[in-house]
Amino acid sequence: MRVAVITDSTASLPPELARQWGIRVVPLRIRIGDHLDDEIRVPAAAVVAAMRADRPVSTEPPEPAALYWAYRAAAEDGADAVVSVHISSRQSKTAEHAREAAARVGLPVNVVDSRTMGMSLGYAVTAAARVAGAGGSPGRIIDALQRRLDGGSTFIYVETLDHLRRGGRIGAAAHLVGTALSVKPLLTMRDGQIAPLDRVIGGGRAKRRLADIATAAAGDRTVDVAVEHVGAPGQAAELMAELTERIPGVRERVVTDASSAIAVHAGPGMLSVVVSQT
C-alpha cells in the first residue's frame, strides 16, 4: 500500500527535508495590507519588514480546494491513501478545511490534528513519512506520528506578547500581557494552545533559561533538536551550538526560519527550541 504524507507550512520543514521524505506541504496564506498570498511566496523576512513598518499582517488557513488538489495530486502519483497532519485546531482552521477536502476526494484521507506546530510537527511528520516509505499502513503511520507528537516539546522565547495578542493566538498566556518590557516571557505548547512557561528579567537571561529548559527536557534520551527563529539567524545558530554541547543524545539537528505564518504571530526576534524523542 502506498500512503502519501501531507502537512502544512506551519511544520517549518526545510524544503530539502520535505523533498527527502516525499512530504507534500500545503501553504497557509499571509495577508500583508490588502495583499493575500500563499506563504511559500511570502518569506519570513517580508513579514518582519512589514511588522517593523507597522503594516497590518495576518494569516489565513489554506482553502479546502488547495488541500483537495493536494490529495488529488497524491492519488495521481499512485497513492492509495493519505495521512494529512496539521497545525493545532486551537490555532488554525487548517485541519477543519482538510476534513472538508477529504470528504470530497475519492481517496481514503486520515486527517490528524497535531495539537502543535513548528518543528514539533515537522519531526513527527518526517517520522510518519519514514514509515510510509517502508510500506506502512495508515494505522502504523499514525501510530508512529502520535508517538513523536507525544514525545515532543516546544519552548518559545518572544520579545513581546503583542503579536500573539493581536492575532488572537495567545491562549492561556493572556494573563502575562501588560508585564514590564524588561520581563521576557517563555512559552510552550500545551493542550494545543500557547501556554506560559516562565518569566525572566532581560532578554539575555531569558534565552539562557530557554537553553536550560530544553536541556532538562532532553535529559539523557536520544532526541532530535530544532531551533527556529524569526529574523535572528545568528542567535539561533549560537543556541543550537550550546544545545549540541549540553545535550549528549542529539541525533538530528535543524536550524531553520520559522514558518512565515508563525512569524506573523510570534514577531521578530522569536527563538523556539523543539526537543523530539526519537
Radius of gyration of the chain (CA): 18
Which structural domain range is residue 201 located in?
A: 152-277
pTM score of the predicted model: 0.92
Q: Does 36 score more than 80 pLDDT?
A: yes
Residue 145 and residue 17 share a domain: yes
Residue 84 and residue 177 share a domain: no
Please write the tens of the pLDDT for every residue from 243-264.
999 999 999 999 999 999 999 9
Q: From its phi and psi, is residue 12 left (phi > 0), alpha (psi between -120 and 50) or beta?
A: left
Residue finishing a domain among 108, 132, 150 = 150
DSSP notation for 127-150: HHHHHHHTT--HHHHHHHHHHHHH
Q: Does 172 score more than 50 pLDDT?
A: no
Output the nine-digit C-alpha cell for 2: 502506498
Please write the tens of the pLDDT for every residue from 128-137.
999 999 999 9
Residue 219 and residue 175 share a domain: yes
Please write the tens of the pLDDT for every residue from 80-118.
999 999 999 999 999 999 999 999 998 999 999 999 999
Residue 157 and residue 137 share a domain: no
Residue 213 and residue 115 share a domain: no
Residue 182 and residue 88 share a domain: no
Residue 138 and residue 13 share a domain: yes
Please write the tens of the pLDDT for every residue from 185-226.
899 999 999 888 988 889 899 999 999 999 999 999 999 999
Residue 38 lies in a domain: no
Q: How far is CA 32 from CA 53, 165, 258, in A?
A: 11, 18, 17
> How far apart are alpha carbons 237 and 229 in whole angstroms?
10
Q: How far is CA 115 from CA 94, 139, 176, in A?
A: 12, 19, 22
Q: What CATH number should be reported for the domain holding residue 208? A: 3.30.1180.10
Q: Which amino acid is at 277?
A: Q
For the chain, give the longest Cα–Cα distance: 56
Q: State mean pLDDT over 158-176.
A: 60
